[in-house]
């Protein structure tokens, strides 16, 4: 309502020039500004690893949409992070096929190796561990991802090598 003073973030220039430029490029071929919401969130995340409250509000203002609506979009997707994450996000699949093939042990092994529970980030900020429902490679279950790299037919034994050296990633 007009009486409400919409609280713009104190620093109105929260978004960087680079981010704005990338977002503008998306807007250029969208029917209306808010249509690029998902891409814009991904752009911000690519630059900052996660989307803070300040970024979300600044982006909502930039896309001329209510922050609540953008928050609805941001929180709908589990790979848009609304909390800080480490340099590498580890996604361990816990969906049906991987479960049948013993993913519980995989998750536990990651936890043990890094000393963090699901949802936590290592003290050095290198890893965040998150569960995920299906990575789309069920035929090679159990599956996990570290950052952009995918690991298939994972065994508990392989975990230290995967985490320490990124060994055995599926190419492509």
Partner 1 sequence: MPVIKVDGKDYEVAEGGNLLESCLGLGLDLPYFCWHPAMGSIGACRQCAVVQYQNEEDTRGRIVMACMTPVTDGAIFDLSGERASGFRQTVVESLMVDHPHDCPVCAEGGECHLQDMTVMTGHRDRHYRGTKKTYRNQYLGPLIHHEMNRCITCYRCTRFYRDYAGGTDLAALAAHDHVYFGRHREGTLESPFAGNLVEVCPTGVFTDKSLVHDYTRKWDLQSAPSVCTSCGVGCNTLPGERYGRLKRIHNRYNPAVNGYFLCDRGRFGGTHVNAESRIDFPAQRDSEGRFQALTDEACARALRDRLQGKRLAGIGSPRAGAEANLLLQRLVGAENYASGMADDEHALMQRALAHLVNSTAHNPSLREIESADAVLLLGEDLTHTAARTALALRQAVRNEAHRLAEELRLAPWQDAAIRNLAQDRRSPLHVVCAGSTDLDDIAAGHYRLVAADQARLASDIAAIIRGEARSDGAAARIAADLLAAERPLVLSGPGAGSAALLDGAAAIAEALVAAGKAAMLSFTAAECNSMGQALLCRDSHIALAALASTDAEVLIILENDLLRRLPMASVEALRARIPTWIGIDCLENDTLARCDLVLPAAAFTETEATYINQEGRAQRAFPTHPPAEARRPAWRWLLDLARAAGDRTLSGIGHFDDIGVTLAGEDPLLQGIASAAPDHSFRSRGLKIPRQPHRYSGRTAMRADVSVHEPRQTDDADSALAFSMEGSATTDRPGALLSYVWSPGWNSNQSLHKFQSEIGGALRGEGSGLRLLDSLAVAAATPAPLPEAFSRREQEWLLQARHHLFGSDELSRLGSGIEALTGRAAIYLHPEDASRLGLEAGDGAVIAGAALEVRLDPSQVPGSAGFSTGYPETLALRSGEWVNIDVASDWQRQPELIGSDRGAAS
- Of the ranges 42-50, 64-72, 121-129, 153-161, which one interacts with partner 1 (CB under 8 A)? 64-72
Based on CB atoms, which residue is closest to ligand FES, 47 or 158?
158
C-alpha 43: how far from chain center:
11
Picked from ligand FES, partner 1, none, the partner binding residue 2 (CB below 5 to 8 A depending on kind) is partner 1
Tell me which residues in 142-171 interact with ligand FES (CB under 6 A): 143
- Of the ranges 25-33, 74-82, 94-102, 119-127, which one interacts with ligand FES (CB under 6 A)? 94-102
Based on CB atoms, which residue is closest to partner 1, 54 or 167?
54
Contact between 98 and ligand FES by CB under 6 A: the answer reads yes
Q: Is-contact 152 170, C-beta < 8 A?
A: yes
Among the listed residues 131, 132, 166, 133, the one whose alpha carbon sits nearest the alpha carbon of residue 147: 166
The distance of closest approach from Cβ of residue 18 to partner 1 in the complex, given in angstroms and rounded to an integer, is 25
Contact between 10 and partner 1 by CB under 8 A: the answer reads no
Contact between 97 and ligand FES by CB under 6 A: the answer reads yes
Based on CB atoms, which residue is closest to ligand FES, 88 or 95?
95
Tell me which residues in 76-115 interact with partner 1 (CB under 8 A): 76-78
Contact between 1 and partner 1 by CB under 8 A: the answer reads yes
């Amino acid at each position: 309502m007009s009486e409400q003073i919409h609280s713009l973030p104190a620093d109105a220039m929260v978004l960087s020039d680079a981010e704005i430029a990338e977002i503008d490029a998306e807007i250029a071929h969208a029917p209306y500004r808010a249509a690029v919401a998902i891409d814009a969130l991904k752009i911000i995340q690519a630059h900052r690893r996660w989307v803070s409250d300040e970024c979300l509000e600044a982006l909502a203002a930039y896309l001329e949409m209510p922050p609540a609506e953008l928050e609805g979009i941001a929180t709908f997707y589990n790979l848009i992070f609304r909390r800080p994450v480490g340099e590498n996000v580890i996604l361990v699949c816990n969906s049906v096929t991987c479960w049948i093939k013993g993913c519980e042990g995989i998750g536990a092994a990651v936890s043990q190796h890094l000393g963090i529970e699901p949802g936590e980030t290592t003290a050095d900020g290198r890893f965040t561990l998150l569960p995920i429902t299906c990575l789309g490679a069920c035929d090679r279950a159990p599956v996990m991802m570290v950052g952009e790299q995918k690991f298939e037919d994972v065994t508990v034994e392989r975990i230290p090598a995967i985490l320490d050296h990124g060994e055995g990633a599926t190419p492509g």
